[in-house]
Amino acid sequence: MKKIKNFFHVRKPFILLFVYLMFSILFLFFSTEGFVVSLKTAGFSAVSAVQSGIHSVTTFFSDTVTAINELRVLKREYDALQDQLRNYEELQRENVDIKRENDTLRDLLNFSEEQTYKNIPAEIIAKDPDALYSGITINKGIKDGVKKDMPVVAFQGGTTGLVGRIVRVGQTTSMIIPVYDYQSYVSCRTQKTRDEGIVNGNGADAPFLTMRYVKKRAAEELSYGDVIVTTGYNNNYPKDIPVGTISRIRVPEYETSLEIEVETVIDFSRLENVFVLDMSTGNEIL
């Protein structure tokens, strides 16, 4: 123990000198410009990294808010375009309806002008198949010149066809008994062979009229699709107005005449407008 104390006592000046030298070296090292620059660089890099991170976060939130606002604007513009599209489609439908109505009115006007009889255009306002007659009510009456037993025709699909005749007249409305009614009888003939007969209705639910009293000998000359027209006898109906077309021909064994099914040329389920003819005026030219 005593030897160790003597060692440190002898070596103390050398130890102090070594510590002083080490301290001097470290002081010089830390005092150099390279270390200061490195420290400054490290500090700048750290601050730059923080600033870059803050900028990125700020930019992210700013872009997100901007995108949300842009989406709102786009949504409003999209909704406005949708409204415009709906309005355009509605306008297109209206234009189509107006064009169809104008075409119909033009056809009716042309038909009316081509008639040599005085005619009264009318619109169907009611149908009553459960009444005494399978009545069709129109919006024209006595004040418009309509009279009982006047014939009624229509123009549909480019074809003129017989509708029926007036059976009841009021001041502003009238009722038509259509050709398909049980009580309707029309003197007709086949347009091709000119064979005559009587066409009778079978009710509103029946898909055809019946033509009777056509001689059996005509069976070989008649064909499906042949047109049946009015004879014009007794001035009840205009002559040669189409009533229907032949859909079936029956040859009863014990009868002397044919029984022919006739499909009406007028589609009564779609009929909207008719013409009441005044047979007391003019001469028919067809």
- β-strand partners of 14: none
- β-strand partners of 261: 210, 248
37: confidence class by pLDDT, cuts 50, 70, 90 = very low
69: confidence class by pLDDT, cuts 50, 70, 90 = confident
Q: What letter does residue 144 receive in the DSSP assignment?
A: G
- β-strand partners of 221: none
Q: How many CA atoms lie within 13 A of 241 on its CB side?
A: 27
pLDDT of residue 98: 66
Question: Do the beta carbons of residue 150 and residue 190 sit within 8 Å?
Answer: no
Q: Check pLDDT > 60 for residue 78.
A: yes
Express each pLDDT in 225-274 by its tens digit. 999 999 999 888 999 999 999 999 999 888 889 999 999 999 999 999 99
Output the average pLDDT for the chain.
80
Mean pLDDT of 172-188: 95
Express each pLDDT in 202-232 by its tens digit. 988 888 999 999 999 999 999 999 999 999 9
Q: Check pLDDT > 60 for residue 53.
A: yes
Quote the tokens at residue 161.
């066809």
Mean pLDDT of 50-62: 67
Question: Do the beta carbons of residue 242 and residue 227 sit within 8 Å?
Answer: yes
Quote the tokens at residue 122.
């009318």
For 208-266, the DSSP string reads -EEEEEEEGGGGGT--TT-EEEE--GGGSS-TT-EEEEEEEEE--TT-SEEEEEEEESS
* Spatial distance between the Cα atoms of 264 and 269, rounded to a whole number of angstroms: 11
